[in-house]
Structure 1
């Protein structure tokens, strides 16, 4: 079987997998998408719990929209198009939920707000986790200080526009993530993400996930505040599939069910070798490409080999993350080192080290071999070389390809 493996923006590496070894190539599920404007408006007209948004906004004196930053695929501009037919957009302020990311570039501003940017530019506030004034609303059950941007705390109406897709340690994006990490202080985000170091913080997992539960605690401290959410599920091509509007948690629960229809992909068996691709633009660096590893592990047998394919166009992406991975050739020691002195960003190193405790990690990238080796991975020059080496070691190995490993969650039949 000849399989085309994407590499970089336009590159392709062809590999030949013997039929006896080949399980299949998998991507997020294809779903039928309707007219996006109709999907949005029908959701706004029939919210899950509570009143339609027109009624929700009545009497609001300080209306604040919380919107995602440029790192998320959320089609905020399309939602604003629909809302502009129902309200004057300037009655609200727009708080960009950056978490600990940088503020948007001009191009990202245009992507977020679309044709409404100039009209709203003076109504936009960018959350800065280190600089924005935050209000301490107490402490979570896990000891996280709940410090949230004062603009969100003071608002008498909050509207959240977000998207919902699997997240490698929070379970899913969307819903409560608009508060934590979205508009929380750096100290709050760091304390929350510290709990990502552990096997209970995984993609799709909500119940018993300490990161998710901590985020839900963040919502408890603003209980009673009027919140209307617009939560969007995209298909694999970034088209709008479904929209869940209304009360934050019930809408999130519904969006998760729709998200499973797109991103949770049944596979017939676990593989001895998983080729997991971080396609453009998710191949920006090693730090972001980790998601392809984390998703690919769900289809891998214990003791198997996962081959991460990512150009890593801009290098490593986070020096601290690489330094942590380099502290020992024993991944168990790396995990212990992270627990001793956690800093924000170390959770990615922990997730990679967790996989290395039970599987082999190989990498096909443009990075220097020394960098890959220091991260406790084995560098390979091409996907073909990696596959040959894997089959030389185990001629009967069963091989699976995840063509878009960054957003595909394989679910083996036995599970």
Structure 2
């Protein structure tokens, strides 16, 4: 039996709307009950805790709709290369309990996690990237996805620094993918630059790359794509369809919901980071989402005193440091053997800039950390430092040249 998914996606809600829990529950149940899933095995791919999303509400509705109807139900947490979630963290994040359901972390650090789906040729990568990259993409994916008949993505859509808007097939790549395609896709985004790609509607080159990788997945692919009210458990909209049509519908709502426009640039932004970002690897979203509104020579301060390390799972960033794209390319012989995903993170946080052998590196915006990371570590990484213990947010709130953003990291800020 084949899965029947609405084309175009079915959608409930929209910009400016707030859905009730009852409306969300009914939409999820109705969508899944008519999707042709009876007797099939289903792998539900969900985000980790670094995104705003009422996941317990959604998963309870999924569980109710599918229990007794599907042959097997598994929940797979799309960590990408983030830290493993503990049992207590999973319980809080997912809700439940869900009798008869297997819950898995994406164990990206284990080679036997993956199956090889094939290769996207160097020639095709060159076409997709408009000539920026000519390297084959080895496509490896968590075996749990391909060992189920159906892969059901459940998660939010936000503006994203690598792909344009998150969601859809991005939950496979990089969510539960192997290192090779993660590195290639992130470095392609870095070559384009975060400021150029973030919040870009439609198919960016990185989106095209991950959609082509997803086409190699033998399982049927469906998605419940949601547009969350940032920092809350409320939803503006929810869409159901295949992983492309559902994402497109949610991304259109996200573009009207998650982007704030300013009339002129500001000299300084203070991003107050919520606790869901536990290192700079994730808290760097406080820079990505505001870089476009900062004046040349301005500053972004990331305030997160509970953060004590740059990257829990990627300590090599301490040696690489943070540099603009042109600096990395100018020192390619030094960096080419590092994980390209780490290099991409380096350039994304340092932002736009230039480098040449005579004048050195000149970045457009200063980046300052007011965190629990030691000053020597911060400065060695080519970032500015502020002591968080003496940080007075009211001083910045009273400064007309400074924009203070609470719950930073999800809402993109742009100039009109």
Tell whether 2:142 aligns with 1:161.
Answer: no
Deviates more, 1:176-185 or 1:96-105: 96-105
Correspondence list, 1:100-115, <5 A: 100-115=81-96
Are the counterparts in 2 of residues 99 and 128 from structure 1 also a CA contact under 8 Å? no
What whole-Å deviation, never above 9, does each CA across 1:254-303 have from its counterpart, x for those lacking one?
11122233321122321122222223333x22332221112221111122
Structure-1 residue corresponding to 2:6: none
2:80 to 94, 99, 102: 99
1:332, 1:354 within 8 Å by CA — same for their partners in 2?
no
Match of 1:55 in 2: 34
Alignment partners' CA distance in 2, 1:228 and 1:331: 36
Residue 77 of structure 1: aligned partner: 56
Distance 1:211 1:342 in 2: 20
Work out the number of aligned pairs and report it: 366
Give, in whole Å, the separation in 1 of the partners of 2:299 and 2:82. 32
Deviation at 1:56, TM superposition (A): 2.0
Task: Give the superposition deviation at 1:374.
Answer: 1.6
Distance 1:266 1:341, change over 3 A: same
Aligned residue for 1:363, secondary structure, equals strand
Residue 204 of structure 1 aligns to a residue whose secondary structure is coil
> Larger RCO: Structure 1 or Structure 2 (Cα < 8 Å, ≥ 6 residues apart)?
1
1:305 corresponds to which residue?
299
Q: How far apart, in 1, do the equivalents of 2:255 and 2:45 lie?
A: 25
| Unpaired stretches in structure 2, ≥5 consecutive residues | 1-14, 126-135, 354-362
Q: Return the alpha-carbon distance in structure 2 between the equivalents of residues 275 and 365 of structure 1.
A: 12
Pair 1:179-2:172 in alignment: yes
Check whether the contact 1:40–1:79 (CA below 8 A) recurs between aligned residues. Answer: yes
Preserved CA contact (<8 Å) 1:206 1:212 = no
Equivalent pair of 2:269/2:299 in contact (CA under 8 Å): yes
| Residue in structure 1 matched with residue 315 of structure 2 by the alignment | 319
Aligned to 1:274: 269
Residue 138 of structure 1 deviates from its aligned partner by: 2.9
Equivalent in the alignment of 1:37: 22
Question: Would you say 1:234 and 2:228 are equivalent positions?
Answer: yes
Contact 1:149 1:183 in 2 (8 A): yes
SS of the equivalent of 2:113 reads coil
Structure 1 pair 58–31 and aligned structure 2 pair: CA distance change class (3 A): closer
Aligned position for 1:403? 406
Offset of residue 125 of structure 1 = 3.8
| TM-score in terms of structure 2 length | 0.77
CA contact (8 A) 1:67 1:94 kept: no
Distance 1:257-1:98 versus aligned 2 partners, 3 A rule: same
The one-character-per-residue Cα deviations of 1:388-409 (angstroms, maximum 9, x if unpaired) are 9xx8xxxxx7332222331221
Deviations for 1:9-52, whole angstroms, at most 9, x for unmatched residues? xxxxxxxxxxxxxxxxxxxxx9542312312423553xxxxxx4
Secondary structure of the equivalent of 1:319?
A: coil
- Structure 1 unaligned regions, length at least 5: 1-29, 46-51, 392-396
1:199 to 163, 170, 192: 192
Q: Is the 8 A contact 1:276 1:308 kept in 2?
A: yes
- Whether the 8 Å contact between 1:325 and 1:334 is mirrored in structure 2 is no
Distance 2:347 2:331 in 1: 10
Task: Provide closer, same or farther for how the CA distance between residues 212 and 300 of structure 1 changes in structure 2, counting only shifts above 3 A.
Answer: same
Q: Please state how far the C-alpha of 1:84 moved relative to its aligned partner.
A: 3.8
Task: Report the CA distance shift for 1:191/1:179 in structure 2 as closer, same or farther (over 3 A).
Answer: same
User: Offset at 1:153?
Assistant: 2.4
- How far apart are 1:174 and its partner, in Å? 1.1
1:353 Cα deviation after fit: 2.9
Cα separation, 2, equivalents of 1:187 and 1:331? 20
Q: Distance in 2 between matches of 1:102 and 1:385?
A: 30
Give the TM-score taking structure 1 as reference length. 0.77
Cα separation, partners in 2 of 1:265 and 1:35, compared to 1, 3 Å? same
Cα RMSD after superposing both structures = 3.1
1:17 is matched with: none
Matching residue of 1:351 = 348
